[in-house]
Amino acid sequence: MSKTKKIPEFKNETEERAYWEMHDSSEYLDWADAKPVSLANLKPSTKTISLRLPESLLNSIKIEANKRDMPYQSLIKVWLSDDVKQSRRL
């Protein structure tokens, strides 16, 4: 293990941010000891897209979403996700 410097205490996040902008963390942490971490509860980033659908298709999707008591955009995401997962298993 390498010799590392002690991380100073900070009064607030602004002070800490300014400090790390001017200092290399490798002087304070031994990155060889780092372990992978999974942050499973993070909400994935989303991106807004524009999708042109025939009105009749959109109306059918809205009817199906209404039957399930969910927003039609959410139903479209579920269907797309399920289809992609199924396609990747093939």
Which residue segments constitute the domains of the chain, with CATH numbers given?
A: 1-34 (no CATH), 45-90 (1.10.1220)
Pairwise CA distance, residues 84 & 76, whole Å: 12
With a cut of 60, say whether residue 71 has pLDDT above it: yes
Pairwise CA distance, residues 26 & 34, whole Å: 12
Give this prediction's pTM: 0.53
Residue 50 tokens, joined: 């524009």
Residues 42-46 have a mean pLDDT of 86
Residues 55-74 have a mean pLDDT of 97
Q: What do you get for the CA distance between the two ends of the chain, in Å?
A: 46
Question: 2 pLDDT band (50/70/90 cuts)?
Answer: low
User: By C-alpha distance, which of 61, 55, 54, 60 is closest to 79?
Assistant: 61
With a cut of 80, say whether residue 1 has pLDDT above it: no
